Amino acid sequence: MMNKKTLVWFRQDLRLSDNPALYQAVLNGSVLAIYILDEQKNKDISMGAASMWWLHHSLTKLASSLDNKLNFYKGDAKKIILKLIKEYSIDGVYWNRCYEPARVEQDAEIKNLLIHAGIDCQDFNASLLWEPELVLKSDKTPYKVFTPFYRNGCLSAQAPRIPLEKPKKLNLVKDPVHAIDLDDLGLLKNKLPAFLAEQDWIIGEDGAQDVLATFIQKPLENYKEGRNVPAKKNVSRLSPYLHFGEISPNQAWYAAKNRGFVSASLGNNVDCFLSELGWREFSHSLLYNFPDLPRKNFQSKFDSFPWRNNQQLLTAWQQGQTGYPIIDAGMRELLQTGYMHNRVRMIVGSFLVKNLLLHWHHGADWFWDRLVDADLANNSASWQWIAGSGADAAPYFRIFNPVTQGEKFDTDGVYTKRFLPELAALPSKYLFSPWEVKEPILREAGVILGKTYPWPIIDLKASRSNALEAFKSLSTEIK
């Protein structure tokens, strides 16, 4: 081991295993491990309340795994790093790359400054399976359709990097002068419902590994079909851990592939899970190559879309008070747990932009604030996809019917009744359209429409017709 002092800048890589920047820094000698909250510089990724809550607890776990020698700072990252280099005679600065536009710009500025100052500066890929700047079509332009992106751009490229082991020994440097306490970052300043902290989230690297191991062992066996049923535990629930880097996509990728090698019958389920990791790569590729994705319609024809402006409808959607049970169950799951099942995310998204005709920005902003797995690439690409304005988007005429979606994917009503206890006594065959149920049945179930549960805020048939008319009014020219 060399006798150098390296600063390691933690960001979306809050783990010790498969952490290339940390791994290489440890080979040099001692390590000054730091985390900087620099939201002024990175305004486009200022965290929502749920993300801040998760980050606080994740940093608590990371600090503990670093023998409480993780140094916290708040402010301009460039100024803080330069100050620490001078103060502690730092030989090198290492970090793992982030791919949000503001951070790409910030990283380039800091790296250029350090290189010109003669400081050993190295950055690594720790959060994506493939570098987005390298996954390009034959004409060197970025892909805009998922299937060729994944099959031709990703699977035909070099296989993802094999995960690195956790460093066996760390020689960590503590900054007793300039570092602040974790609480001083103010990550818990926005109060969330108390029950969010009581949900079954095991935050941190160890929790992430446990979640992955559990998923690979059993739920993966029926992933392809079971992931569509919100009452079943066939989704991985790895999304917040991947966003904060408590686990790497490489670890998830190879864990699934290795499980497939052991049990050949899992082939279709493994392939389906790997393709979902591929969708994550696609979203990050879109954001990297089209940095306006979070606010600008990917397809410019949507700039003239006749969105409505109705705060009453938006509030009803946000609070899970639309009168459509599968919609309300999903929105209340979000409020109560900081998470929403992926199938239900598509249903509530379609309802917002196509039935209510409210701008996809409203959905993206609400999810950004409330999801513990809020991720700029995934959030932006997903909302544009459901709105029809994005790359490889859902066709405009694909409008999810919340009644039939509930009946198909929550047949027994287990998921819906969990989050709508006021409808728990209603027989499942009536659950998804209570406004059509005869009064004696409602009365026996303790349901009073307009009091214990709302009437539908819009008519499905009429809203679908309005949506189709609005979509057809757009120019057929696609950017």
- DSSP assignment of 260-317 equals HHH-GGGHHHHHHHHHHHHHHHHHHHHHHH-TTTTTS-SSGGGGG---B--HHHHHHH
Contact (Cβ atoms closer than 8 angstroms) between residue 208 and residue 238: yes
Residue 71: helix, strand or coil by DSSP?
strand
- Specify the pLDDT at position 472: 86
Q: H helices of 117-263, where?
A: 146-148, 205-217, 223-226, 239-243, 249-262
- Specify the pLDDT at position 312: 98
The type of residue at 389 is S
- Specify the pLDDT at position 475: 57
State the Rg of the chain over Cα. 24
Pairing of β 71-74 and β 29-37: parallel
Residue among 226, 457, 161 at smallest CA distance from 327: 457
The type of residue at 400 is F
- Residue 351: which H helix or E strand, with range? none
Q: Which two tokens stand for residue 163?
A: 């995960």
User: Has residue 180 got a pLDDT over 70?
Assistant: yes
pLDDT (tens digit per residue) in 386-405: 999 999 877 778 899 999 99
Q: How confident is the model at residue 478 (pLDDT cuts 50, 70, 90)?
A: very low
* Active site residue ranges: 276, 279, 307, 342, 360, 383
Q: How confident is the model at residue 200 (pLDDT cuts 50, 70, 90)?
A: confident
- Specify the pLDDT at position 395: 76
Q: How confident is the model at residue 419 (pLDDT cuts 50, 70, 90)?
A: very high
Beta carbons within 10 angstroms of residue 372's beta carbon = 27
Q: How confident is the model at residue 473 (pLDDT cuts 50, 70, 90)?
A: confident
Distance, in Å, from the CA atom of 97 to the CA atom of 125, rounded to the nearest integer, reads 6
Max alpha carbon distance in the chain (Å)?
80
Contact (Cβ atoms closer than 8 angstroms) between residue 417 and residue 431: yes
Mean pLDDT of 102-123: 96
Contact (Cβ atoms closer than 8 angstroms) between residue 149 and residue 159: no
Look up residue 172 and give its DSSP letter: B
Degrees to nearest 5, angle at CA 341 with 339 and 342: 115
Mean pLDDT of 334-360: 96
- Specify the pLDDT at position 193: 64
Mean pLDDT of 430-434: 97
pLDDT (tens digit per residue) in 54-70: 999 999 999 999 999 99
Mean pLDDT of 166-194: 90
- Residue 418: which H helix or E strand, with range? helix 414-419
- Specify the pLDDT at position 463: 96
Contact (Cβ atoms closer than 8 angstroms) between residue 327 and residue 418: no
Distance, in Å, from the CA atom of 153 to the CA atom of 227, rounded to the nearest integer, reads 26
- Specify the pLDDT at position 265: 73
Mean pLDDT of 218-246: 95
- Specify the pLDDT at position 260: 84
Q: How confident is the model at residue 131 (pLDDT cuts 50, 70, 90)?
A: very high
Q: How confident is the model at residue 196 (pLDDT cuts 50, 70, 90)?
A: low
Mean residue pLDDT of the chain comes to 94
Bridge partners of residue 35, in order along the sequence:
10, 72
Residue among 113, 444, 360 at smallest CA distance from 348: 360
User: Has residue 244 got a pLDDT over 60?
Assistant: yes
- Residue 36 sits at φ, ψ, to 5 deg, of -120, 125
User: Has residue 44 got a pLDDT over 80?
Assistant: no
Contacts of residues 78-85 at CB distance under 8 Å and 24 or more positions apart, as own/partner, are 78/106, 78/109, 78/110, 78/113, 80/34, 80/36, 80/178, 81/7, 81/9, 81/34, 81/36, 81/110, 81/114, 82/113, 83/178, 84/7, 84/32, 84/34, 84/175, 84/178, 85/7, 85/114, 85/117, 85/119
User: Has residue 477 got a pLDDT over 50?
Assistant: no
Complete domains list, the chain, with CATH: 4-127 (3.40.50.620), 128-164+204-290 (1.25.40.80), 300-472 (1.10.579.10)
Q: How confident is the model at residue 146 (pLDDT cuts 50, 70, 90)?
A: very high
- Specify the pLDDT at position 394: 72
- Specify the pLDDT at position 392: 82
